[in-house]
């Protein structure tokens, strides 16, 4: 086994509600740890998936969903790639464009998926610390580019901080990026941020060295289906297609994506529910003495006094039936991340947080 694989550890998924309920003998457990849509899946996606049942004996071409994405976002089918989750497209980018001499660059305190994929290929990855205000530091990243840098990975909004970098910040950063360096703009939480006038929707940045990644896992509630998509210059897409497994994503994934793209009602309902929950949870946590980081996504990051406090707070909530995420694995051991739930889940979280706080501070 190559040493860079031997040194990796398998992904440890968060705790499941069933396991937590059994361990602590709880009648109610809510999962607010994976930034999923708490309202369920898009009904139109589910309807399309049901309709696709009689085609399951055939291999999918994927052209139908790619065509719908091209039409909806005003681009050509040659500029669209799909995959089994946006992370699968990320894996194909790593396999397609990185070779032994290359390095990758990203921020500390960001989604770990890209870093793990790069390390799994033995690609060195350098990180730049977050700014004091928990935002990605684009100025420092621009300065960190060197002659070996091949890919820069940026999540906007960023997971787990929920922060965005602005159009102005991105424009200034882009001027420092050499044309042979590929920028991955991971917009997994795009729909939550798109109406913010300062948010740089990457489809307005159709530069040749930018690849946009998006997903149906979050706002469309399809995390379990594994379906994501991306946009880039036709040459980049053509090269990705050489590496991508030919029949990925599945017939179900394609059908779900097509249905979801039509589901404006579910999209709007999910956005409204999230905005309401974000306000209630932020205010509620602030009244308990926390200082949540302002978020443009469907989750909130809470800095705690230290790593012990963050760990104890997480544990005391889990024992009372609210699963949240301690961010030690993201390199932010003094922080926790809480996904926004349904109205009733948010209420349960706030009641539980109040009790958990008493314990955590003892």
Q: Minimal distance in Å, beta carbon 157 to ligand PLP? A: 8
Stretch that binds ligand PLP, among 24-32, 80-88, 204-212, 275-283 (CB under 6 A): 80-88
Q: Does 113 bind ligand PLP (CB under 6 A)?
A: yes
Q: Minimal distance in Å, beta carbon 80 to ligand PLP? A: 15
Q: Does 257 bind ligand PLP (CB under 6 A)?
A: no
Number of residues in contact with ligand PLP, rule: CB under 6 A? Answer: 14
Contact at 8 Å (CB) between 161 and 134?
yes
Q: Does 200 bind ligand PLP (CB under 6 A)?
A: no
Q: Minimal distance in Å, beta carbon 21 to ligand PLP? A: 23
Stretch that binds ligand PLP, among 16-24, 79-87, 121-129, 323-331 (CB under 6 A): 79-87
Interstrand relation of 322-323 and 325-326 (parallel, antiparallel or unpaired): unpaired
Residue 279 DSSP class: H
Distance of CA 324 to the CA centre of its chain: 16
Residues 3-42 close enough to bind ligand PLP by CB under 6 A = 35
Q: Does 52 bind ligand PLP (CB under 6 A)?
A: no
Query: Among 16, 34, 20, which residue's Cα sits nearest to residue 320?
Result: 20
Q: Does 217 bind ligand PLP (CB under 6 A)?
A: yes
Residue for token pair 């309709």: 51
Q: Does 339 bind ligand PLP (CB under 6 A)?
A: no
Stretch that binds ligand PLP, among 215-223, 239-247, 304-312, 332-340 (CB under 6 A): 215-223
Q: Minimal distance in Å, beta carbon 7 to ligand PLP? A: 23
Contact residue for ligand PLP among 223, 271, 280, 294 (CB under 6 A): 223
What is 36-56 written as a DSSP string? --TT-S-HHHHHHHHHGGGGT
Long-range contacts of 111-115, Cβ-Cβ distance < 8 Å, separation of 24 or more: 111/155, 111/158, 111/159, 111/160, 111/186, 111/188, 112/329, 112/330, 113/87, 114/90, 114/153, 114/184, 114/186, 115/153
Q: Cis omega before residue 335 (within 30°)?
A: no
Measured from the CB atom, the residue of 154 and 357 that comes closer to ligand PLP is 154
Contact residue for ligand PLP among 52, 82, 92, 159 (CB under 6 A): 159
Q: At what angle do helices 264-287 and 343-361 cross, to 10 degrees?
A: 30
Measured from the CB atom, the residue of 48 and 226 that comes closer to ligand PLP is 226
Structure token pair of residue 227: 């379906």
Binding site for ligand PLP (CB under 6 A): 35, 85-87, 111, 113, 155, 159, 186, 188, 215, 217, 223, 228
């Amino acid at each position: 086994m190559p040493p860079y694989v031997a040194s990796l550890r398998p992904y440890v998924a968060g705790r499941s509600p069933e396991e937590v309920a059994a361990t602590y003998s709880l009648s109610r457990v809510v999962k607010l740890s994976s930034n999923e849509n708490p309202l369920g899946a898009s009904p139109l996606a589910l309807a399309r998936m049901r309709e696709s049942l009689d085609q399951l004996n055939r291999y999918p071409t994927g052209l139908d969903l790619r065509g719908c994405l091209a039409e909806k976002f005003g681009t050509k089918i040659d500029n669209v790639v799909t995959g089994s989750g946006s992370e699968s497209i990320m894996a194909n980018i790593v396999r397609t464009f990185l070779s032994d001499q290359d390095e990758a660059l990203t921020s500390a305190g960001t989604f770990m998926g890209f870093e793990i994929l790069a390390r799994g290929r033995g690609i060195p990855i350098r990180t730049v610390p977050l700014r004091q205000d928990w935002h990605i530091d684009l100025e420092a990243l621009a300065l960190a580019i060197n002659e070996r840098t091949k890919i820069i990975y940026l999540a906007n909004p960023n997971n787990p901080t929920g922060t965005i970098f602005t159009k102005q910040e991105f424009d200034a950063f882009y001027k420092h990026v050499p044309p042979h360096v590929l920028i991955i703009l991971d917009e997994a939480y795009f729909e939550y941020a798109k109406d913010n006038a300062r948010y740089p929707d990457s489809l307005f940045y159709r530069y040749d060295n930018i690849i946009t990644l998006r997903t149906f896992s979050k706002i469309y509630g399809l995390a379990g289906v594994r379906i994501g998509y991306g946009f880039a210059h036709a040459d980049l897409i053509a090269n990705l297609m050489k590496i991508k497994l030919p029949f990925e994503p599945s017939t179900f994934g394609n059908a779900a994506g097509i249905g979801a793209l039509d589901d404006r009602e579910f999209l709007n309902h999910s956005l409204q529910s999230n905005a309401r929950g974000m306000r209630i949870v932020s205010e509620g946590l602030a009244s308990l003495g926390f200082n949540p980081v302002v978020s443009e996504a469907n989750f909130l990051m809470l800095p705690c006094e230290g790593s012990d406090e963050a760990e104890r707070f997480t544990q005391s909530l889990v024992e009372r039936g609210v699963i949240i995420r301690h961010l030690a694995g993201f390199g932010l051991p003094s922080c926790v991340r809480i996904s926004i739930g349904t109205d009733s889940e948010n209420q349960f979280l706030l009641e539980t947080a109040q009790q958990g706080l008493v314990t955590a501070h003892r």
